[in-house]
Structure 1
Amino acid sequence: MAAPIFILLPLALLFITATSQGQKAISLTDTLTPTSKSSWLSPSGVFAFGFYQRGNGYYVGVFLPRTSNKTAVWTYGRDSSSLPSNSTLRFDGGGRLVLQSAQAQDTYVATPNDTTVTASASMLDSGNFVLYNSDQKVIWQSFDTPTDTILGGQSLPASKELHSSASVTDPSTGLFLAIMQLDGVLALYPKGTPFTGEYGYWDSKTPNNGPNVTLHLEDDGFLYLLKPQGVYLANFTSQGLPKEDMIYLARIDPDGIFRLYSYDITRNDDWSVKWDVPTDRCSPKGLCGLNGFCVNVGQDYECQCLPGFVSVEDGNRTAGCERNFTAESCKNPTVSNNMQPVPNTTWEDDTYSALTSLTKDECLEACRQDCNCEAVAYNVSQSCYKWKLPLRFGRRVPDGNSNPQLYVKVGDTRSG
């Protein structure tokens, strides 16, 4: 009898084989805990679903276990408190995935979207965590409820949003969002603002294209907007050949920039930025919090405070600024309200009173005499705009005569 022949397959081919299989069944009797068996891996081991750690607590989500900080691409209950080490994940009798801990009430992480009972579950190599019924029909998937990220093979349908995380170490909802609008525009906004041009800080410039435009990311890093019937509306990156050892993700980051990243799983190095918008780091409105303004510094940015203000929280640029003195009553005769200039900045227009045909000195005096006035913007057309605190969406702009000059009231207590 001839000896058997063994063929050694290269690593890349082994990865393709695992990927093409697409799934590895998860036992519905399995239980996960943060400190023992903490996750279910995809066939290649590139993605995992389960507990990942941030600081002293844990979160439930989909992440890349081989990356240095276990990069999370989907998180459940991101605005709840982090989970303790005695938490568990298990399936109940109806196939719903239940999160349990001694400190909180049980919650359902994954619930089938119909009355069908879950027959199986899989963590796919696409980064999608999926529940199936007995006919192998998808009845729940993490791809349907993205948090801050879409992966290769995933899309963002019309009216759906991505919300940034608070920081690299805090997955709770942050300051910015990306929305696929019903007019066919992909747009970026500060959280909590109307979806109008006044508040947006970047958009795809594709209006009036109907309510069914979708943002797509392909496995080769091709990021684009697609209209019904397969019409390409906007290509943000170019098409290429998928590489079995390369992963792509598009994410709105804590700093409000929407970036496309690539990651080579064979090198285990850092993520590489392939595309990003906007390119001006200070464009995201509200990046420096209330009463702070953003200044570009090379490829980075810094936050500065209005005169008479200091940072609310050292090391947290988005926390904003607060007065470094106790405001005295403007009716107090021992208080002289100085008006300090803040040159070359722009802010949200939150005017409560507009005066015309005033000199600069008259404008400043009008604010001094008004107990409600905390700042004024004065321009060369002799218009004077009164503002109350807090000021928001501040950023440094190029010097120009057309930019209104901001002056902030700074109390100066004097002995009478």
Structure 2
Amino acid sequence: MPPYMIPLCLIPFIIQASHSMGAQINETTIPEGSEINIAGPQSWVSPSGRFAFGFYPKGEGFSIGVWLVTDPSRFIMWTAFRNDPPVSGGSILLTAGGSLQWIPPNQGFQGKVISAAPTSATSAAILDTGNFVLYDAKKQVAWFTFGTPTDTLLPGQNLPPGNQLFSSVSDTNHAIGKYRISNQPDGNLVMYPIGAIDPNSAYWNTGTYAQNFLLTLTLDPNGTLWLFNRNSPYRMVLFLTNQSLSASPESESYYHLTLDADGILRLYSHVFFKQGGAPKTKVEWLVPPSNDRCSVKGVCGPNSFCQVTSSGETRCSCLPGFEFLSANQSTQGCRRAQTAIFELSTNGYAEELGMGAYGTVFKGVLTNSGNKGIVVKRLERMAEDGEREFQWEVRAIARTHHRNLVRLLGFCNEGAYRLVYEYMPNGSLANLLFKRDATLPSWSNRIAIALDVARGLQYLHEEIEVPIIHCDIKPENILIDSSGMAKIADFGLAKLLIGNQTKTFTGVRGTRGYLAPEWSKNTAITVKVDIYSFAVMLLEIISCRKSMALKLAGEECNISEWAYEYMFSGEMKEVAAGKGVDEVELERMVKIGIWCTQNEPVTRPVMKSVVQMMEGSMQVQRPPPPASFSQSLR
């Protein structure tokens, strides 16, 4: 029913009814020193049993407030400390000092005053109107909840000029939400989003700003809602209850006006039947009306839009390329969808580059960065492993900055985890060495690649504050940039050495054929496992052969045994592939490879020594036989 001017002849009747109903106040006195607590009893109840004041459940704890008892649910009418987190314990005490306080369970903490009474209280009561009142020694009202409304007006409660109601966050969270209704000094009752001061931000008003006098909003016990001026006969009825429905001998009705979390102002009725049974709750009036709910500014939050369904409900949807901030709270708005960004940048994951630890790698382009090439690694394995792998990879590579390590450009840690790396146009070392019909890199280029990897490993092992064991050095994890420089990639299995650690215990990580013997011994591992894997790869770089596809005298062998046999027999040239091989350099590289694949970790050189030997600044002695094929086959 729209607002209208009520005939003056009806005013005395309504005022008289209002006063007579308001005069029927029942109360049970709560004396000084009375206390309720979460362990029980949790509340003080009005004489009729319809209203209660005390602790009510909120999330994992409790809040303090007044509610209408409508079992099995409850309607919250007033809340203390709205924006505070829930409490897990404590009590409410009407102290000897005359204040109402929440007393925390830990005695070392000071209580928190609920009432702001100018005089000391000696008693209290929760009335059948829903008003919780403190009285002084003269039985005068010292403080009452009706004087500090939150999001609701009850019958007999006013919203004077200059006062506001603030919506809650949700039906279960009564912290201050997104909307307010303001009884403005110009006489206009206006609804705004919180924080908005521009009149153009208002989404509903009574249009009473031209009356040139102050108005008070009030709700009568019979459910009539109106604006009036205390010094004139002016009355403007916003809603007039059907008296025949509200005055039934078989039932009694309770009303309240609430600014709900969705920004809609609703007048509720709760009909309690004298013969018992569940009460009947109904929305008697609301603004904006059902067909105009999307007029509420910001009802769906940023980056979204509102639609009214056929049932009159609002439905929030995200703009294209955005996703909800909270899947359970669509009214909180949307943010740019990380998944959509990745799908757009990879053209729907169209070009697969290969597989990494726990995930697939795709090529993409950042169109807003000059079509910069990127690689998106999408983790796809079981959730527990995928999350652990993601954390390892981000933690490891975020600590590093070296020319021979692939650079992490960004990541998404929601939903399906994704990592974004710089794109290496020349692909992986495995493609260069083993891909059929590929042009074999020259000897000098292959040695340069090996030295790049060695320097990257030296940095990881010896030159950063927290050493990193890569745990999966192999040609597939070495990428080549546009200038031919090699960079270590895929830190998904990496292990960080925290503090003064030089070794660590962990489950087997890595790839068959590149695993050091100690992985199978249930013993601590060190950076020497990377040195073993590097040596296997170094011999693959020299020979352009896969380490697991070799035989000696018809028997399978690992690549270091194979290379040692040729070195021992004086046929070193048989180890190297391609033309232009430097035989002195070849011998040095083979010796390094065999030294680094020794069975005992202590016998293998550290990475700094490996780099020096590869550069020719350190002499390389003739090595003993390497670990056998059976020891390295895992």
TM-score by length of 2: 0.48
- Name the CA distance, whole Å, in 2 between partners of 1:55 and 1:128: 25
Question: SS of 1:315's equivalent?
Answer: coil
1:43-54 equivalences under 5 Å are 43-54=47-58
Deviations 1:15-40 (A, max 9, x none): x99x8352110122211112311111
Selected match of 1:42 from 42, 46, 50:
46
**What's 1:32 paired with?**
36
1:82 maps to 86
Q: Are the equivalent residues in 1 in contact too, given 2:217–2:228 (CA < 8 A)?
A: yes
Contact map agreement 2:33 2:96 (CA 8 A) in 1: no
Is it true that 1:120 corresponds to 2:123 in the alignment?
A: yes
Given that 2:32 and 2:96 are in contact with CA atoms closer than 8 Å, whether structure 1 keeps it comes out as no
Structure having the larger proportion of residues in strand: 1
Return 318-327 or 249-258, whichever deviates more: 318-327
2-side partners of 1:157 and 1:79: how far apart? 23
Tell me the CA shift for residue 245 of structure 1: 1.3
DSSP-derived class of the 2:234 partner: strand
Q: Which structure carries more helix by proportion? A: 2
CA contact (8 A) 1:334 1:415 kept: no
Greater Cα shift, 323-332 or 91-100: 323-332
Residue 370 of structure 2: aligned partner: 333
**CA distance in structure 2 between the partners assigned to 1:132 and 1:237 by the alignment:** 33
Question: SS of the counterpart of 1:143?
Answer: helix
Aligned counterpart, 2:111: 106
Q: CA deviation at 1:286?
A: 0.8
Corresponding residue for residue 261 of structure 1: 268
Give the distance between the partners of 1:151 and 1:31, measured in 2 at CA: 26
TM-score (norm 1): 0.72
Count of aligned pairs between the two proteins: 321
For residues 175 and 64 of structure 2, the distance between their equivalents in structure 1, rounded to whole angstroms, comes to 12
State the shift of 1:190 in Å.
0.5
* 8 A contact 1:224–1:232 mirrored in 2: no
CA RMSD of the aligned region, Å? 2.7
Amino acid at match of 2:301: G
Aligned position for 2:95: 92
Cα shift at 1:215: 0.3
Q: Secondary structure at the match of 1:110?
A: coil
Aligned to 1:274: 284
Q: Distance in 2 between matches of 1:250 and 1:57?
A: 27
User: Which protein, 1 or 2, shows the higher relative CO under an 8 Å CA cutoff with sep ≥ 6?
Assistant: 1
Deviation at 1:157, TM superposition (A): 0.5
Please list the CA deviations of residues 210-230 of structure 1 after superposition, one character each: whole Å capped at 9, or x if unmatched.
452100100011001102325
Give the aligned partner of residue 408 of structure 2: none
Give the structure with higher Rg (CA).
2
Tell me, yes or no, if the aligned pair for 1:220 and 1:240 is still in contact at 8 Å: no
Write the letter of the residue equivalent to 1:88. S
CA drift of 1:78 comes to: 1.1
Whole-angstrom distance in 2 between the partners of 1:204 and 1:264: 28
Q: Which stretches in structure 1 are left out of the alignment for 5+ residues?
A: 1-15, 337-413
1:297 aligns with 2:304: no
What's the offset of the Cα at 1:330?
6.9
Tell me the residue number matched to 1:248.
255
Q: CA deviation at 1:56?
A: 2.1
Measured after TM superposition, the shift of residue 240 of structure 1 is 5.8
Deviation at 1:197, TM superposition (A): 2.7
Q: Distance in 1 between matches of 2:92 and 2:41?
A: 10
Q: Secondary structure at the match of 1:272?
A: strand
Once the two structures are TM-superposed, the CA of residue 173 in structure 1 deviates from its matched residue by 0.9
Match of 1:168 among 171, 176, 197: 171
Identity of aligned residues (%): 33
Q: Select which of 203, 209, 217 maps to 2:211.
A: 209
Which whole-Å deviations, capped at 9, do the CAs of 1:29-76 have from their partners, x for residues lacking one?
Answer: 211112311111111111111111123211111112333322110000
Instruction: Report if aligned partners of 2:25, 2:127 keep a CA contact under 8 Å in 1.
Output: no
Q: Secondary structure at the match of 2:74?
A: coil
- Write the letter of the residue equivalent to 1:108: V
Q: What residue in structure 2 maps to residue 322 of structure 1?
A: 335
SS in 2 for 1:318: helix
Q: Confirm whether residue 309 of structure 1 aligns to residue 337 of structure 2.
A: no
Q: Is the 8 A contact 2:268 2:282 kept in 1?
A: yes
State the Cα distance separating 1:331 from its structure 2 match.
5.8
CA distance in 1, matches of 2:193, 2:61: 28
CA distance in 2, matches of 1:230, 1:83: 47
- Contact kept in structure 2, 1:25 and 1:120, CA below 8 Å: yes
AA of the residue aligned to 1:273: V
Distance in 1 (CA, whole Å) between partners of 2:110 and 2:264 is 36
- Residue 239 and residue 265 in structure 1: after superposition, are their counterparts in 2 closer, same or farther (change >3 A)? closer
Which letter does structure 2 place at the counterpart of 1:221? G
- The CA distance in 1 between the partners of 2:221 and 2:46, in whole Å, is 17
Within the candidate set 59, 63, 69, 1:65 is matched to 69
Paired with 1:262 and 1:230, the residues of 2 have a C-alpha distance of 30
Change (3 A) 1:82 1:126: same
Q: Cα distance 1:415–1:245, how it changes in 2: closer, same or farther (>3 A)?
A: farther
Label 1:203 to 1:21 Cα distance change in 2 as closer, same or farther (>3 A).
closer
Q: Could you list the structure 1 runs, at least 4 aligned residues long, displaced by more than 6 angstroms after superposition.
A: 327-330
How far apart in 2 are the matches of 1:89 and 1:229? 40
